[in-house]
Structure 1
Amino acid sequence: MKAVGKVLCATGVIVGLLAFFWKDAFDPESLSGARVLLTGASAGIGEQMAYHYASFGAEIVLTARREAVLQKRKRGIQCLSYNFCEILCHFPESKQIYSQSFLKDFRLSARGLDYLVLNHIGMTPFQMWDGDVEHTRWLMQVNFFSYVALATAALPTLEENKGSLIVVSSLTGKIPTPFTTSYSATKFALDGFFGSLRHELVMQKKNIFITLCILGLVDTDMALEKTRGKVYLAASPAAEAALAIIRGGATRVQEAFYPWWLEYVCHFRDWFPSHRDQVLRSYYNYSSP
């Protein structure tokens, strides 16, 4: 335990020094006039990102499942900004999450795109694995394959405009946690695919940057409802999470963490795996049936 204490102490010193010398490279004016396509924009973090982008003067296109809710978001955004805001399309409520017609509309609207922000997720229960393979297959379509399809459709215009691809992921895509078997699998898939794609873009000398955003528990209505009584962790504000994502994409970091200390959790995750897992499970409430 003394060794663990020394490591934690040294980590604290390093974190303190980094915080002292850290300089914010984010310039909000760099987003003025930027053309952004944002998925999953009807609520939660996506809604907050839409408001932030509008306040920075970006021209935004919003997509989500619920078109009526998106129209409300559009009216709210237009109150914040005179810049262009369009509802491109809504994902259908059926299990066909994206379609050829959507991709065709996307390609037409993506001319001049500076940022593609992939943020949408499928609804999934927060519970022990119950053996529902079909749900996992569907969730992989929503949380992973649709990201791959939309990113692929956008690559030509992003390259033309030296743009950025922002992929919203989760700590569960770096460290497996209880009650998130299917969800965690989709997020690990995002990490693997877009991390590999980043290498390939560099090797091909294509000026497209990829930022993977690693989020902890955020106080969206959906997250709070699912985790209530099951997780002993404080949720972080959605508006701050949204700003951290935008900041990471605008400053072109490979990985953006929110809260910031998650970066160090990921760095040291393999140092003491048995202690890590024991501590991790202590934050979750499970009552045997």
Structure 2
Amino acid sequence: MNFIIRGVLGLVLFFVLFNVARNLFYDLYASNWHRASRENTAGKRVLITGSSRGIGEALAHVYAELGAHVTVHARRLDSLEKIRAECRRLGAASVHAVAGDMSSPGRAAQVVADAAAAMGGGLDIVVVNHISPSELTTLSRAMPDSAQKQLAAMQTNYFSYVEAARAALPHLEKSAGSLVLISSAAARLPIPYCYEYCASKRALEGFFSTLRQELALNGSAVHAGLAVLGLIGTDSARQTVPKYSKGSSLDFASPVATALDVTAIPVGRLRELASPWKMRVPLLLGGWAPEHIERHLQALTRIL
């Protein structure tokens, strides 16, 4: 009897450890196994919103190098000239630019329509990546117009994502394409002073999970994937994060490496991918041991 009990406990322990390891290393495996290449990406019609700098710019360069038709987006067309030239140099099948201020209702749908028209009437991959700069502050020190700022952040970081997704779905249905939404670990971790950004990204993830259910129930050909990003070394992050962090050396991930991870999502038609893959550790601990994560983040944050 003792032998049987030990055997059962050993089997249970094996499955527990196996699932922990699978969850921890899934993103590392998936991002490498489903790596985008010219063989699986050349000729694809790709729209990347918010691509004048940072991760969006890196994505545009990666897709260009893979031979895709690339449409870049920013608030103003003149901010895209250098990126368009670089995408051509890298070997994009074609390069197009569309402009639109995502803080204005209706503009996201127009950006999608303009991009589809520029690439011959269709889309294969839509990466919704644009972002609104958010103020990090205590609730008591928020400006008198903080409600308006929160609404503006929600419009850009959430409502315009929904609008872009809705506009992209008919095009992606025809091509059995992929919709990739860029989210953040801030949607799941309690980042101090990050009210606007955390709230908008958490709303986005709620929308994403519901959208996936609808697509599955309706037998849709559209794939929807989520990129959950950690601390990425964009110019804005390098300028902002050190002001609020006690850490002397912050481990920023490369925007190019992040872009390469994101391109694996449509290739593998992945539900979700965390980048860098090490972000999966705090994401899992946030669910398993939320009090530990809260204390850890408090220890890393300056008091305002």
TM-score band (shorter)? Answer: 0.7 to 0.9
Alignment partner, residue 5 of structure 1:
none
3-state SS in 1 of match to 2:208:
helix
Counterparts of residues 248-267 of structure 1 (less than 5 Å): 248-267=265-284
**SS at 1:112 equivalent:** coil
1:248 Cα deviation (Å)?
2.0
Contact 2:233 2:255 survives alignment (8 Å): yes
- Counterparts in 2 of 1:1-289, with a 5 A limit? 14=21, 18=25, 22=29, 24-28=33-37, 29-87=39-97, 89-92=98-101, 95-96=103-104, 98-99=106-107, 102=111, 104-106=113-115, 108-109=117-118, 111-129=121-139, 130=142, 132-231=146-245, 232=247, 233-287=250-304
Taking structure 2 as the reference length, the TM-score comes to 0.83
* Aligned mates of 1:37, 1:172 — CA distance in 2: 25
C-alpha displacement at 1:265, in angstroms? 2.4
1:105 CA displacement:
2.8
> Partner of 1:169: helix, strand, or coil?
strand
Deviations 1:83-123 (CA, angstroms, capped at 9, x unpaired): 10001x21239x42643754653564472210010000011
Contact 1:91 / 1:97 at 8 angstroms: preserved in 2?
Answer: no
Letter paired with 1:252 = R
Indicate the RMSD between aligned Cα atoms, in angstroms: 2.6
The question of whether the paired residues in 2 share the 8 Å contact of 1:40 and 1:63 is answered with yes
Per the TM alignment, residue 280 of structure 1 is displaced from its structure 2 partner at its CA by: 1.6
- Using the TM superposition, name which of 136-145 and 229-238 deviates more: 229-238
Q: Distance in 2 between matches of 1:188 and 1:238?
A: 22
Q: Distance in 2 between matches of 1:69 and 1:41?
A: 10
Return the alpha-carbon distance in structure 1 between the equivalents of residues 23 and 213 of structure 2. 31
Structure 1's 153 and 175: CA in aligned 2 closer, same or farther, altered over 3 A?
same
Indicate the larger mover: 50-59 or 105-114. 105-114
Residue aligning to 1:3? none
- Structure 2 unaligned regions, length at least 5: 1-16
Relative to structure 1, the CA distance from residue 17 to residue 239 in structure 2 (aligned partners, 3 Å threshold; closer, same or farther) is closer
Unaligned runs of 5+ in 1: 1-9
Contact 1:126 / 1:226 at 8 angstroms: preserved in 2?
no
For the structure 1 residues 220 and 27, does the alpha-carbon distance in structure 2 shift closer, same or farther, using more than 3 Å as the test? closer
Is the 2:44–2:124 Cα contact (8 Å) retained in structure 1?
yes
**Partner-residue secondary structure (3-state), 1:268:** helix
Q: Which amino acid in the other structure matches residue 266 of structure 2?
A: G
Amino acid paired to 1:159: E
1:7 alignment counterpart:
none
Give TM-score, length-normalised by structure 1. Answer: 0.87
Secondary structure of the structure 1 residue equivalent to 2:152: helix
For 2:198, the aligned partner's letter is S
Tell me, yes or no, if the aligned pair for 2:51 and 2:73 is still in contact at 8 Å: yes
Letter in 1 for 2:101: P
Deviation digits for residues 57-77 of structure 1, max 9, x if unmatched?
111111112321211110111
| Separation of aligned partners in 2, 1:160 and 1:37 | 16
Q: Is this contact kept in 2: 1:126–1:227, CA < 8 A?
A: no
Question: Which sits farther off after the overlay, 262-271 or 28-37?
Answer: 262-271
Q: Which has the higher contact order (CA 8 A, sep 6+)?
A: 2
Matched to 2:257, the amino acid is E
* Cα shift at 1:267: 2.5
CA spacing shift, 1:98–1:221, aligned 2, 3 Å: farther
Equivalent pair of 2:70/2:92 in contact (CA under 8 Å): no
